[in-house]
Structure 1
Amino acid sequence: MRVLLSTFGGRGDVEPLVGLAIALREAGAGVRVCAPPDCAERLDQFGVELVPIGQSVREMVHGPAPTRVPDVPRKAAELMAEQFAELPAAAEGSDVMVATGLFPVTASVQSVAERLGIRYVYAAYCPIFLPSPAHRPQSAPTRPLPPDVTDWKELDALAIEGYNAVFGAALNRERAAIGLSPVDNVRDHVFTADPWLAADPTLAPWPADAANPVDVVQTGAWMVPDPRPLDPGLKAFLDAGDPPVYVGFGSMPAPQHAAEVALAAIRAHGRRAVVSRGWAGLTPSASADDVRVVAEVNHRALFRRCAAVVHHGGAGTTTTAALTGAPQVLIPQMADQPYFAARVAALGIGAAHSGPSPTVESLAAALGQALSPETRSRAAATAATIRPDGAAVAANLILDL
């Protein structure tokens, strides 16, 4: 069997596909990944074949002219054109195509799979991206849902209308070019009636409700089995004192003065710090003996040695911290991050910071909650319930298709 995995986005979009690719390969399947060029080095670490499609996501987010919300319809059309041009050749010989990430890309994968007669699977990393009366529907970019409307069916109809308005014309134009008929509900056509949820059932449970319009298969989170040892310099820093507090925002833009604010809040609790540069280049203004700055690192190995983890609330970082039993402080910036912040708070395994831009005082207060004995005890207990086998579960389901 040959499987094509496709996504477009930052590290949090790509990393789960790396985990799934490894699990598929171990199960005997051939695997190829279509993703932006930024992830080439990461896939090469595990010998996973990459077909790079599209421009650098890092450039789109952190470059001199980052993509803004008003640019989304135009950028979506460009992404679809690139995907429709490159995917058919990349999919040659594939039996299954699995798509995650930005909607223009998943929509392109679905159409190409349909044209080639290949089985297609859509997967989301968070429940809120799939339609359910248990949560407010996700609106399309540039088409926010009216805040005064509360009826779910009305909201869902407006969400579908928004997806059609933003993505419908470009998608149907590309579909027509390869001989496919137009679709009048692009969201549900791409999501399908039986999407997969690649999220941990403890952290992000799918709501058990007979009224759910889709039949979701929850596999668990797709995690990478990372064997890398910690850098000797980092290990020496960890060995030299009490467990530090980790701070990082992954591939996200960081709040203004995030490094200095975080260090001041951490020092207010008498703790040392490990600061991850990430795509935002998070770096303290001055070096100090109580701070270690890191780049690429094995998060699972590092978090096990941290007193707490302060981060943006991405699905992957949240799941990894929960798996290691590290208390968390989430400073959500966008998308699914407020959801995971709320879940961490509800589970009692950390604190959800109110708002995306912390002050020293507000972050110190949230950190105090995360560092409490009660939170650490709850985080340790919850760690035993986090499933690390989601990628293997998904790989077996793919082999069964």
Structure 2
Amino acid sequence: MRVLLSTYGSRGDVQPLAGLGLALQRIGAEALVCAPSDAEFVELLNRSGVPWAPAFMPVRQWIATAKQSGLRLPQLAAMMVPAQFDAIAAAADGCDAIVATGLFPSVAAAQSVAEKLGIPFVLVGFYPIILPSPHHPPMEYPGWPHPPELTDNLALWEFNVQAMNGLFGAAVNTHRTSIGLPRVDNVRDHVFTRRPWLASDPILSPWHPTDLTDAAQTGAWILPDTRLLPADLEAFLGAGAPPVYVGFGSMAMHTSDNLARVAIEAVRAQGRRLILAQGWANLAPIDSRDDCFAVGEVNQQALFTRVAAVVHHGGAGTTTAAACAGTPQVVVPQGADQPYWARRVTELGIGAAHDGPIPRAGSLAAPLKTALAPATRERASAIAKSIRSNGAMVAADMLVRAIRGGKP
């Protein structure tokens, strides 16, 4: 049995698929991840031991291409869909099912490959708000803001169908007809299917059943990381009280001026040392003081158990990793699902949300104070004990049963 796991997006899309791939291997199935060939993703997949195949273009190259071209989302989708279809189709040779996540044009391409091959297809999301439900509104898309007169969630999800048809319908249907597949009137529901999977923890991000979407929540897909922390980082950790971790992952944070200085001064004002993760924002120390330590790629699962708080952008992966570690969080949400995770961290009492996406002088003080309070750490430690660690194995078992039964 061979399964293709397809994505086009950030590390937060790639790493969970590697976790599922490893779980599939453990129960005797073959897994192949089709993902962008950015160096950090290639390193991650090679380290996991899950074979990989390249998507049509590295993500950083695609971002640069999109910016330089000045094209709008429909035109960019028209470029991505056929290119991703070719990459995914090549990787899917001999596969018995496809599981896909990431940017919608890539998922649509994966769905078309599965349809052409006549094999099961599963869409997976990593947060509930991506899926239609009366319990929450959809996220807005560029050029399609929610009409102010629409306040009911069901009405907004109907509008979401129009938005996604307007943005992606032409790209998806043009390609479908070119490869002999019929056009679809509702690209969102066709690609999402009636039975998508939700790979998030039921405590951190509960799914409320609805007739709109028959989602299967598996729990988060966590890729185990057994790497030791570097010796110089261990020395820094051992030289004083637990520091605060600050890192924004694959967020470039271009809207934030002097971000490193703002973060460092905010942590110092709390009387804490800090670990500064470079990430795509290229954060670096602002002086030679010995209370700030810069790191690149590192085992977050090990590191987060050793720090006083985690300041981050609110991606699903980082939020889950900090929650599993029982470490309080400060979320500085930039967009997409990140405001949702900021809200969940606040609602659960395991941290605090920064007000807005741009940290400025003094704006981190209040959320840091909340995160560093003893009561917050006690609550974070309690929540950590309730988080499931077997989500990837649950999904692997479900997938094997779906393939044997002929449908997801």
When normalised by structure 2's length, the TM-score is 0.95
Structure 2 residue 379 is the aligned partner of structure 1 residue 371: no
CA deviation after TM superposition for structure 1 residue 358, in Å = 1.4
Cα deviation 1:321-380 (Å, max 9, x = unaligned): 000000000000010000000000000000011100112311011100100011011001
CA contact (8 A) 1:24 1:31 kept: yes
Q: How does 1:165-204 map to 2 (within 5 A)?
A: 165-204=166-205
User: Does the Cα contact within 8 Å between 2:4 and 2:97 map onto a contact in 1?
Assistant: yes
Shift in Å, 1:213: 0.5
The 1-side partners of 2:394 and 2:68 are apart by 36
The Cα shift of 1:69 comes to 8.9
Question: Is contact 1:195-1:217 (8 Å) kept?
Answer: yes
The answer to whether the 8 A contact 1:274-1:293 is kept is: yes
Is the 1:16–1:222 Cα contact (8 Å) retained in structure 2?
yes
**Which position in structure 2 is the counterpart of 1:339?**
340
Alignment map for 1:92-111 (pairs within 5 Å)? 92-111=93-112
Name the CA distance, whole Å, in 1 between partners of 2:14 and 2:69. Answer: 22
- Once the two structures are superposed, what CA deviation does each residue of 1:187-241 show, in whole Å capped at 9, x if it has no partner? 0000000110000111100024xx4401110001111100000000000000010
Task: Tell me if the contact between 1:60 and 1:67 (Cα under 8 Å) persists in the aligned partners.
Answer: no
Residues 327 and 381, structure 2, Cα contact 8 Å, conserved in 1: yes
CA distance in 1, matches of 2:314, 2:153: 26
2:138 partner amino acid: P
Per the TM alignment, residue 59 of structure 1 is displaced from its structure 2 partner at its CA by 3.5
Corresponding residue for residue 12 of structure 1: 12
Matched ranges for 1:46-195 at <5 A: 46-61=48-63, 63=64, 66=67, 71-195=72-196
Tell me the CA shift for residue 56 of structure 1. Answer: 1.9
Counterpart CA distance in 2 for 1:137 and 1:24 is: 32
Aligned residue in 1 for 2:240: 241
SS of the counterpart of 2:275?
strand
Which moved further from structure 2: 235-244 or 385-394?
Answer: 385-394
Aligned to 2:328: 327
1:162 Cα deviation (Å)?
0.9
Which residue does 1:318 correspond to in 2? Answer: 319
8 Å contact 1:12–1:314 — kept in the other structure? yes
- Supply the distance in 2 between the matched residues of 1:145 and 1:250 (Cα, whole angstroms): 29
**Residue in 2 that maps onto 1:285:** 286
Q: Which moved more, 1:281-290 or 1:117-126?
A: 281-290
| Counterpart secondary structure, 1:118 | coil
Q: Which amino acid aligns with 1:102?
A: L
Number of residue pairs aligned between Structure 1 and Structure 2:
398
Aligned partner of 1:301 in structure 2 is 302
SS in 2 for 1:100: strand
Q: CA deviation at 1:141?
A: 3.4
Q: Which residue of structure 1 aligns with residue 349 of structure 2? A: 348
Instruction: Write the distance in 1 (CA, Å) between the matches of 2:281 and 2:215.
Output: 35
Q: CA deviation at 1:147?
A: 3.1
Task: Tell me the SS of whatever aligns to 1:361.
Answer: coil
Mapping of residues 25-40 of structure 1, within 5 Å: 25-38=25-38, 39-40=41-42
- 1:223 alignment counterpart: 222
Structure 1: tracts of 5 or more residues without a match: none
Shift of 1:37: 0.6
Q: CA deviation at 1:55?
A: 2.0
* Structure-2 separation of matches of 1:334 and 1:78: 24
RMSD, matched Cα:
1.5
Deviation (angstroms), 1:64 = 8.8
Following superposition, the deviation at residue 47 of structure 1 comes to: 2.3
Question: Distance between the aligned counterparts of 1:81 and 1:65, measured in 2?
Answer: 16
Q: CA deviation at 1:68?
A: 9.2
**The 10-residue stretch of structure 1 (51-60 or 246-255) with the greater mean CA deviation from structure 2:** 51-60
Deviation at 1:299, TM superposition (A): 0.3
Structure 2: give runs of 5+ residues left out of the alignment. Answer: 403-408
Q: 2:381: which partner in 1? A: 380
SS state of the match for residue 37, structure 1?
coil
Letter in 2 for 1:219: T
Quote how far apart the aligned CAs of 1:154 are: 2.1
CA contact (8 A) 1:344 1:351 kept: yes
User: Does structure 1 conserve the Cα–Cα contact (< 8 Å) formed by 2:261 and 2:286?
Assistant: yes
CA shift for structure 1 position 148: 3.2
**Alpha-carbon distance, 1:140 to partner:** 3.6
Please give the secondary structure, in 2, of the residue aligned with 1:313. Answer: coil
Alpha-carbon separation, structure 1, partners of 2:65 and 2:247? 22
Per-residue deviation at 1:40? 1.2
Alignment match, 1:390:
391
Q: Which amino acid aligns with 2:347?
A: A
Whether 2:274 is the aligned partner of 1:266: answer no
Which aligned segments of 4 or more residues in structure 1 are displaced greater than 6 angstroms? none
Q: Distance in 2 between matches of 1:141 and 1:117?
A: 34
Say if 2:249 and 2:280, in contact at 8 Å, map to a contact too: yes
- Distance in 2 (alpha carbons) for counterparts of 1:315 and 1:19: 14
Give the distance between the partners of 1:114 and 1:203, measured in 2 at CA.
34
Which stretch of the first structure deviates more once superposed, 124-133 or 250-259?
250-259
Name the SS of the counterpart of 2:310 in structure 1: strand
**SS of alignment partner, residue 180 of structure 1:** coil
TM-score, structure 1 as length reference: 0.96
% of aligned pairs identical? 54
8 Å CA contact 1:132–1:213 kept in 2: the answer is: yes
1:92 Cα deviation from its structure 2 partner: 1.0
